[in-house]
DNA sequence: TTGAAAGCGATACCAG
DNA sequence: CTGGTATCGCTTTCAA
């Protein structure tokens, strides 16, 4: 690999000049500029990011921390972040924390050691001390705590809409899944639904469940054993909803006539389920993009319109809910 | 952040000594060693990977290139790679090439510039020149070309098994999906199936399809329009199979009585479909781990038992295929 | 067994 | 407008 020295020699100038041209900083005569640029092309020179990073204590890397790369919701977020960063000439180190704090610590360490200029985190432990004393900004994605800037979807509204749609379509004995207690986003959608259900003339049960694949199946079985009379289920995410749908069909429930299901997230596979899953859509890709933009604004010291960006959610009507007449 | 100088000062030794202790290289008196280690602990010193990397021209980073992070098969591979690397104290930069060569080039550039010590690639363009002239080893994952070491599952056998099971369970008019022509793995499973079907007393049709989410639905619709009399479908991957299953149920086909479906990959969601999807399982997680091990062996100049590692596939019987008596 | 000093490849200050 | 040079934090000869 050619170095800045090679370029300088070839162009017949000093490394300082090359550096200036490279970074469009300080003066450089038009002619020398051309000389340098030609040399750069001829040698196919690319600056060494490591050397740059060492001096400036800043790389062009962003750390992205995901809680569970197997849940299709997160790759979708990642795509949004990635696309936005790419447009800004930045790159991502994606870390999968796997819901384990040790892994998370380990990744944060790596991020630090590689001079990332910022972190976007969607893990479950951002409230803890892990993120303290960092010399670069942190943006939370799909997560909320008091202290960090964040991008998330409106969980209260999401829960509310889910409950409304469920009631409106006639379910009377509803099971409400409550995601991980420590996740503010999970609790928001839960609360939103609870509030709405309390006001409605329906019975409902609460079942606490994790977000992960592994637990979803067991949870689904238990649900139908304990509450066989349930005629409507508001799931905490699409993964759980898929497991529930599967189990419901297995035991011969008729969907949506006898049992309605509403998921949460709208992961790509939701529409491939059969019947396709009615769900509350979180704009995952856009959330990722917004988080990336927010982080960049912070890094560049741009004034922030708002520190916490909330995106709207929408009800996606598919086939696990019954049709009703529209009366707007 | 404390530097090696701080440690040296605190321990009352030179930076050279600290470095030696740090890397267990060269001599160091037991007492000084302790002195240094104490200082390291007290200051909570972590070596600056960037500086290290600049001097040695080697980082502790591995590049992992994925074609499509939204296809759940790939996160599974990634987990395998990640876990193995983590055990070796290495870290991953995951790049999502999105099936676009520009993105791939861009990531390879980033990998180079950040001194990765190796790349594991699962993209669709490894045959091209992108990977030439790299100063570090490349391992292909779920991909095969002549020139690079690789880890993959036995596609010929996979296709063969799928066809056997399909025929054995009584399908007579089979649609065989053929994945992307340029992917050797896709063609292997296709060929394996074709060979088997040719030998059997059945009709079959070939339909070419991509692996992506987006195209799956359209393809499914077309399939049933063009070949309504089909009674067995061998899909090119689980995503396509899910789309086909969805469409089949939508148009009222009875599964598996009237139509059997066999997928490929065994992504986590396959068992959550209803009926749950019979499929050919590729050991994705293990493939990831093996690829990581292979790469490390190459990096460490260990003798290789084999340059190309083929893992076995298995038929996972679920509910989109009919039961038959076992006669081993 | 230890330390001084020369890099690694870039940036940025300061002098000219 | 341009060039010399110290510097970023670490590793590795080479001498002592």
| Separation in Å, CA of B171 to nearest CA in chain A | 23
**With a 7 Å cutoff on the CB, does A29 touch strand C?**
no
Interatomic distance B56 CA / C7 C1' (Å):
11
**What tens digit of pLDDT does each residue of B233-255 get?**
999 999 999 999 999 999 999 99
Tens digits of residue pLDDT in B29-84: 999 999 999 999 999 999 999 999 999 999 999 999 999 999 999 999 999 999 99
Which chain A residues are within 8 Å of B49, Cβ to Cβ?
Answer: 110, 113-114
Residue with tokens 């190796």: B118
Four-CA torsion A293, A298, A302, A303, nearest 10 degrees? 100
Is the pLDDT reported for residue A259 higher than 90? yes
Structure-token match 């080697």, residue found = B58
Is the CB of B54 less than 7 A from some atom of nucleic acid strand C? yes
Q: Say what the pLDDT of residue B126 is.
A: 66
Taking the alpha carbons at both ends of chain B, their separation in whole angstroms is 65
Confidence of residue A127 (pLDDT cuts 50, 70, 90): low
Residue A182: per-residue pLDDT: 87
Report d(CA B207, CA B235) in Å as an integer.
Answer: 10
Q: What mean pLDDT is predicted for residues B20-36?
A: 94
> Any CB–CB contact under 8 A between A216 and chain B?
yes
- Mean pLDDT throughout A267-294? 96
**Quick check: A126 and A118 in contact, CB under 8 A?**
no
Asked if the Cβ–Cβ distance from A113 to B48 is below 8 Å, we say yes
Domains of chain A, with CATH numbers? 4-47 (1.10.260.40), 61-153+285-311 (3.40.50.2300), 155-283+314-327 (3.40.50.2300)
Cα B47 to Cα B15: distance, rounded to the nearest angstrom: 12
Is A106 in contact with B86 (Cβ distance < 8 A)?
yes
Question: Does A267 contact chain B (CB < 8 Å)?
Answer: no
The nucleotide minimizing the C1' distance to residue B11's CA is C2
- pLDDT of B232 over the 60 cut: yes
Greater pLDDT, A20 or A212: A20
Q: What share of chain B is helix, strand, coil (3-state, %, to 5)?
A: 45, 15, 40
pLDDT at A141 over 90: yes
In this structure, are residues B298 and B304 in contact, taking their beta carbons and an 8 Å threshold? Answer: yes
pLDDT above 80: residue B129: no
Instruction: Kindly report the backbone phi and psi dihedral angles of residue A240, in degrees, each rounded to the nearest multiple of 5, phi listed first.
Output: -60, -45
CB contact under 8 A, A276 and B246: yes
pLDDT of B314 > 60? The answer is: yes
How far is Cα B288 from Cα B82, in angstroms, rounded to an integer?
8
CB of A143 closer than 8 Å to CB of A262: no
Contacts of range A68-71, beta carbons closer than 8 Å, 24 or more positions apart: A68/A96, A68/A97, A68/A98, A68/A99, A68/A211, A68/A212, A69/A94, A69/A96, A69/B75, A69/B78, A69/B79, A70/A213, A70/B72, A70/B75, A70/B76, A70/B79, A70/B268, A71/A211, A71/A212, A71/A213, A71/A237, A71/A239, A71/A267
Contact A103 B109 (CB under 8 A): no
The reported pLDDT for the residue numbered B295 is 97
CB contact under 8 A, B113 and A49: yes
What is the model's pLDDT at position B327?
A: 58
| Highest averaged pLDDT of the listed ranges A3-7, B178-182, B324-328 | A3-7
| Four-point Cα dihedral B318, B323, B325, B327, nearest 10 | -40
Interatomic CA distance for residues A292 and A313, integer angstroms = 19
| A75 in contact with chain B, both atoms CB, cutoff 8 A | yes
For chain A, the average pLDDT equals: 93
In this predicted structure, the answer to whether residue A129 has a pLDDT above a threshold of 80 is no
- Average pLDDT, integer, range A256-284: 96
Q: What is the nearest CA distance from B113 to chain A, expressed in angstroms?
A: 5
CA to C1' distance (Å), from B6 to D10: 13
Do the Cβ atoms of B75 and A75 come within 8 Å? yes
Q: Does A243 touch chain B (CB under 8 A)?
A: yes
Predicted confidence at residue B213, as pLDDT, reads 77
Whether the CB of A56 is below 8 Å from some CB of chain B: the reply is: no
Task: Count the Cβ atoms, other than its own, within 10 Å of residue B87.
Answer: 12
Looking at residue A125, what is its pLDDT?
Answer: 79
Q: What pLDDT is attached to residue A216?
A: 86
CA distance B305 to chain A (A): 31
Cβ A23 to strand C below 7 Å: yes
Write down the pLDDT at residue B106. 87
A 10 A CB-CB count for A286 gives: 17
Name chain B contacts of A59, Cβ cutoff 8 Å. 50, 114
pLDDT of residue B1: 82
What is the per-residue pLDDT for A245?
Answer: 96
When the pLDDT of each residue in chain B is averaged and rounded to a whole number, the result is 93
Q: What is the pLDDT of residue B317?
A: 98
Select from A110, A99, A92, A93 the least CA-distant residue to A69. Answer: A99
* A200 pLDDT higher than 60: yes
Task: Report the pLDDT averaged over residues A276-301.
Answer: 97
Taking CA–CA distances from B214, the nearest residue in chain A reads A268
Name residues 176-195 of chain B within 8 A of A (Cβ).
none
A99 vs A187: CA distance, rounded Å? 18
Task: Please report which residue ranges of A88-205 form alpha helices under DSSP H.
Answer: 101-113, 155-168, 184-199
| Statement: residue A186 has pLDDT above 90 | yes
Contacts of A269 in chain B (CB under 8 A): 72, 242, 269
Å: B296 CA to D11 C1' = 22
- Taking the C-alpha atoms of residue B1 and residue B44, their distance in angstroms, rounded to an integer, is 9
Per-residue flag: B324 CB under 7 A of strand C: no
Tell me if A268 sits within 8 A of B213, measured CB to CB: yes
**Per-residue pLDDT tens for B251-278?**
999 999 999 999 999 999 999 999 999 9
Nearest nucleotide to the CA of A20, by C1', is C11
What is the CA A35 to C1' C4 distance in angstroms? 40
Q: What is the pLDDT of residues A55-88, one digit of tens each?
A: 999 999 999 999 999 999 999 999 999 999 999 9
pLDDT at A327 over 70: no
Q: How far apart are CA A30 and CA B25, in angstroms?
A: 50
Mean pLDDT of the A285-290 span: 98
Query: What are the E-state strand segments in A60-100?
Result: 61-66, 91-96
pLDDT of residue B85: 94
Residue nearest to nucleotide C12 (CA to C1'): A16
- pLDDT bin (cut points 50, 70, 90) of residue A147 is confident
């Amino acid at each position: 690999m050619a170095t800045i020295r090679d370029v300088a020699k070839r162009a017949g100038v000093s490394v300082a000049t090359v550096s200036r041209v490279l970074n469009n900083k300080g003066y450089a005569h038009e002619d020398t500029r051309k000389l340098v640029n030609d040399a750069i092309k001829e040698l196919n020179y690319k600056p060494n990011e490591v050397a740059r990073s060492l001096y400036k204590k800043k790389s062009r890397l962003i750390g992205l921390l995901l809680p569970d790369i197997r849940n299709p919701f997160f790759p979708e977020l990642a795509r949004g972040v990635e696309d936005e960063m790419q447009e800004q000439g930045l790159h991502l180190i994606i870390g999968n924390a796997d819901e384990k704090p040790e892994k998370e610590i380990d990744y944060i360490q790596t991020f630090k050691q590689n001079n990332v200029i910022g972190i976007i985190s969607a893990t479950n432990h951002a409230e803890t001390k892990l993120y303290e004393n960092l010399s670069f900004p942190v943006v939370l994605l799909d997560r909320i705590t008091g202290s960090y800037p964040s991008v998330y979807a409106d969980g209260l509204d999401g829960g509310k809409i889910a409950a409304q749609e469920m009631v409106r379509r006639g379910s009377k004995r509803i099971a409400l899944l409550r995601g991980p207690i420590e996740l503010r986003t999970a609790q928001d959608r839960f609360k939103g639904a609870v509030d709405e259900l309390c006001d409605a003339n329906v019975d409902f049960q609460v079942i606490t469940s994790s977000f992960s694949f592994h637990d979803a199946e067991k949870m689904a079985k238990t649900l139908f054993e304990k509450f066989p009379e349930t005629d409507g289920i508001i799931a905490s995410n699409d993964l759980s909803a898929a497991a529930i749908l599967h189990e419901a069909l297995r035991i011969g429930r008729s969907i949506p006539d006898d049992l309605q299901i509403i998921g949460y997230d709208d992961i790509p596979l939701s529409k491939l389920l059969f019947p396709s899953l009615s769900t509350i859509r979180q704009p995952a890709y856009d959330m990722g993009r917004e988080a990336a933009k927010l982080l960049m604004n912070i890094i560049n010291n741009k004034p922030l319109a708002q520190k916490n960006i909330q995106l709207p959610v929408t009800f996606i009507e598919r086939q696990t809910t019954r049709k009703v007449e529209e009366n707007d």
